[in-house]
Chains A and B, each alone.
Chain A
Amino acid sequence: MADPKITHTEVLSLTQRGGHIFQLIVKAPPGDWTDPGVFAKLRAWAEAPYVYPLLDRPISVHRFSKNGPERTLEFLIREIGPGTSFLAKLKPTDKLKITGPLGRGLLSLAPDILSQPLYLVAGGIGLAPMACVLELKPPKPLLFYGERSGCFQIDRDYLASFAPDFMASTEDGRGYGQKGLVTGLVRKALEVEKRTILACGPRGMLAALAPLARKFGVRLYVSGEAFFGCGLGVCLSCSLPLSDKTRFRLCQEGPVIDGLKVDWDKR
């Protein structure tokens, strides 16, 4: 388990990447940020007395880089409410409160994962941690990226800059890629070649992947979603049900978990 710290770090850049999405680069605080799925809690607005928004916002690591002595941490964030709007207004040299590294990443759950060809499945901003996986150079990774509408899509060139091989879909048929659900693309791919699936996105998408993975007999690792009260394992607001009737804390035992062990029918 990571050893999280609360620090204030410096913003290096903020770049629009289309679809109400921006890329935020900061100086990396101490800690091991390399395991895909690991997240941070970010706060770019007033601290004590903590009025509005009250809680820090959990955001996955998009990428971690080390250029000589300079370590940087990147986030890919969709502006959808008050917290992310504050983050979207950050400028270089601004200070940002950051708590992390938090949670258990992919490699700690499945250390052998990078030796095999993978299907990466991203729904919406679930795209963020996929860059981390791709940086670790698994053989032949194929990324599926779905959005509800073309207007939410990330800039195609930016996507291509970190994902050499991808297929996109939108539900409304606008933008680049095909019309339909991303799970439809995954199904077709599985019919041709079976591969382990890594997925991050809305609950509905993850729940739909579980029966597909079962049917084709492939492994499924997901980074799930829940409202986090603390992100530190104390409040149980992120607890989700497993098929064996027990529950687990997404912020501690996850966010990356075995998608076949989750009870997707319960909440």
Chain B
Amino acid sequence: MSADLKVKLGPLTLKNPVIAASGVFGYGLELAAFCPPENLGAVILKGVGAEPWPGNSGPRLVEAAGGLVNAVGLENMGVESLIKKVLAPLKKRGGVIVGANLIGHSLEEYLAVAKKLAETEVDFFELNVSCPNLSQGGAAFGSDPELTARLTEKTVRLARGKPVVVKLPPLVTDITEVAKKVQEAGATAVSLINSLPALVIDAKTRRAALGNITGGLSGPPIKPLALRQVWLCARAVSIPVIGIGGIMTAADAAEFIIAGASAVQLGTAILADPRTPLAVIEELETYFKEENIHSVGDLKGTIKGPWE
């Protein structure tokens, strides 16, 4: 019997649970020769704001602790250009499920993007609430559960039935509280985790590696932490949880599903090799067959204790 990798995201059916994370797949077509976007469960575009953002001064990326620390600073072309230049050619390929990653410095900015994209061919929204809220001193939106819920609710109202995924910030006292709040506010799913605040210094020169001094840690070193957060959230909410953080192989992806994720996103792995998502899908199929797993639902949340 063949393994069924399909998963549901609200009204959407993804052909497999492997999604390209925001920020490593550009605007969807750049890597098509290596990784056709239509072969993935979905692709999430680079974070997009109401206006273009210049991003941070360089250097913007460094390797550390077996992972990456990036401070790209959400450089992006703005929603108008995205609509004009990106969506039509990407959707023309056929079968590509496109998620837009929404960013803003204020509630109004997020909603301006949502409003514009609601009328386009974008299939779903992912709210990146790790952006600094400039009207509240620059702390991440997501650090305020009430505000995050309000943003979710208003976005859902504008979204014209498109699924709204909320990408939770990694550093909050209780991630399940935020997950529950956005579920109540009507979110279709939550995705986690985003990269973790980090700092890299060179002892010899005493210089910080990044232009922005601090950045976000991603890749293998964040996987155990992400697995725990996903496990906690999956037990706290009934909406799907999308697991992200250091997934480089099919085994990593399976671990997230076992922890309770319905789907996964790959970030850093795509920078290591743009073909990784295809390899993960193929190996997941093999794993499902070998382990006699019929569907993602079969595997989801099946974590056991060490002595079970």
Given contact pairs A51-B220, A55-B271, A233 touches B26 in the complex (Cβ within 8 A): yes
Interface residues of A in 1-54 (CB under 8 A from B): 3-4, 6, 47-54
B249 interface hit (Cβ, 8 Å): yes
User: Judging by beta carbons under 8 Å apart, are A227 and B219 in contact?
Assistant: no
Q: Does B153 contact A (CB under 8 A)?
A: no
A37-75 at interface with B (beta carbon < 8 Å): 47-56
Q: Which residue of B lies closest to A245 (CB)?
A: B54
Whether B55 and A50, one on each chain, are in contact in the complex, defined by CB atoms closer than 8 angstroms, is no
Give the one of A3, A232, A241 with max B CB within 10 A: A232
CA distance A236 to B55 in the complex (A): 9
Query: Counting chain B CB atoms within 10 Å of each CB, which of A4, A49, A235 scores highest?
Result: A235
* Cβ-neighbour of A229 out of B30, B34, B271 (below 8 A): B271
* B268 in contact (CB, < 8 A): yes
Interface of B is mostly: loop
Q: How far is the CA of A215 from the CA of B55 in the complex (A)?
A: 32
Of A51, A232, A237, A267, the residue contacting B274 (CB under 8 A) is: A232
In the complex, how many residue pairs between chain A and chain B have their CB atoms under 8 Å apart? 110
A236 to B61, CA, bound (A): 9
A205 at the interface (CB under 8 A from B): no
User: Cβ of A226 < 8 Å from any Cβ of B?
Assistant: yes
Q: Given the complex, which residues of B lie within 8 Å of A238, measured CB to CB?
A: 60
Q: How far is the CA of A233 from the CA of B67 in the complex (A)?
A: 20
Of residues 226 through 262 on chain A, the ones whose CB sits less than 8 Å from some CB of chain B are 226-227, 229-230, 232-241, 247
Query: Within the assembled complex, what's the spacing in Å between the Cα atoms of A230 and B30?
Result: 11
Quick one: given A235-B72, A239-B75, are A230 and B55 in contact (CB under 8 Å)? Answer: no
Tell me which of B61, B68, B248 contacts A49 (CB under 8 A): B248
Whether B273 contacts A234 by the Cβ 8 Å rule is no
Interfacial chain B residues near A4, Cβ < 8 Å: 33
Interface residues of B in 48-70 (CB under 8 A from A): 54-55, 57-63, 66-68, 70
- B24 in the interface (beta carbon within 8 A): yes
A266 part of interface (Cβ distance < 8 Å)? yes
**In whole Å, how far is A44's beta carbon from the nearest beta carbon of chain B?**
14
Chain A residues within 8 Å of B34, by CB: 6, 232
Mark out the residues of chain A between 191 and 244 whose CB falls within 8 Å of any chain B CB in the assembled complex.
226-227, 229-230, 232-241
| B55 in complex: contacting residue of A47, A49, A56, A239, CB < 8 Å | A239
Q: Does B272 contact A (CB under 8 A)?
A: yes
**Given A239-B58, A266-B57, A267-B211: A230 and B24 within 8 A (CB)?**
yes
CA distance A184 to B141 in the complex (A): 52
User: Are the CB atoms of A55 and B272 closer together than 8 Å?
Assistant: yes
- In the assembled complex, the CB of A75 is this many whole angstroms from the nearest CB of chain B, namely 20
Consensus secondary structure, chain A interface: loop
Decide: B219 and A235 in contact? CB cutoff 8 A.
no
Count contacts on A: residues with CB < 8 A to the other chain: 30
**B55 x A54 contact (CB < 8 A):** no
The contact string, 1 if C-beta is below 8 Å from chain A, for chain B 256-299, is 00000000000011111111100100000000000000000000
Does chain A have a CB within 8 A of B23? yes
Q: How far does the Cβ of B269 sit from chain A's closest Cβ, in whole Å?
A: 7
Please name all residues of chain B whose beta carbon is closer than 8 Å to the beta carbon of A232 when the two chains form the complex.
30-31, 34, 274
| A48 and B279 contact, Cβ closer than 8 Å, known pairs A54-B268, A232-B274, A235-B271 | yes
**Is B46 an interface residue when CB atoms closer than 8 A count as contact?**
yes
Min distance, Cβ B101 to any Cβ of chain A, angstroms = 13
Is B72's CB under 8 angstroms from A236's CB? Answer: yes
Q: With an 8 A cutoff between CB atoms, is B25 at the interface? A: yes
Q: Is the CB of A54 within 8 A of B272?
A: yes
Complex interface: chain A residues within 8 A of B72 (CB): 235-237, 239
In the complex, what's the smallest C-beta–C-beta distance from A204 to chain B, in angstroms?
A: 14
**B80 contacts A by Cβ under 8 Å:** no
- Chain B hits for A51, CB < 8 A: 66, 220, 248
B183 to chain A, nearest CB (A): 32
Cβ-closest chain B residue relative to A237 = B61
- Is the pair A234, B61 in contact by a Cβ cutoff of 8 Å? no
For residues 180 through 235 of chain B, which have their beta carbon under 8 Å from a beta carbon of chain A? 211, 219-220
11 A-B pairs with C-beta separation under 8 A: A6-B34, A48-B273, A49-B252, A55-B68, A55-B272, A226-B58, A230-B24, A230-B274, A236-B60, A239-B75, A247-B75
Chain A residues within CB distance 8 Å of chain B: 3-4, 6, 47-56, 226-227, 229-230, 232-241, 247, 266-267
Query: B residues engaging A (CB < 8 A)?
Result: 23-26, 30-31, 33-34, 46, 54-55, 57-63, 66-68, 70, 72, 75, 211, 219-220, 248-249, 252, 268-276, 279
Additional A-B contacts beyond A229-B70, A235-B72, A239-B60 (9; CB < 8 A) = A50-B248, A50-B269, A51-B248, A54-B268, A226-B59, A232-B34, A234-B30, A235-B61, A267-B59
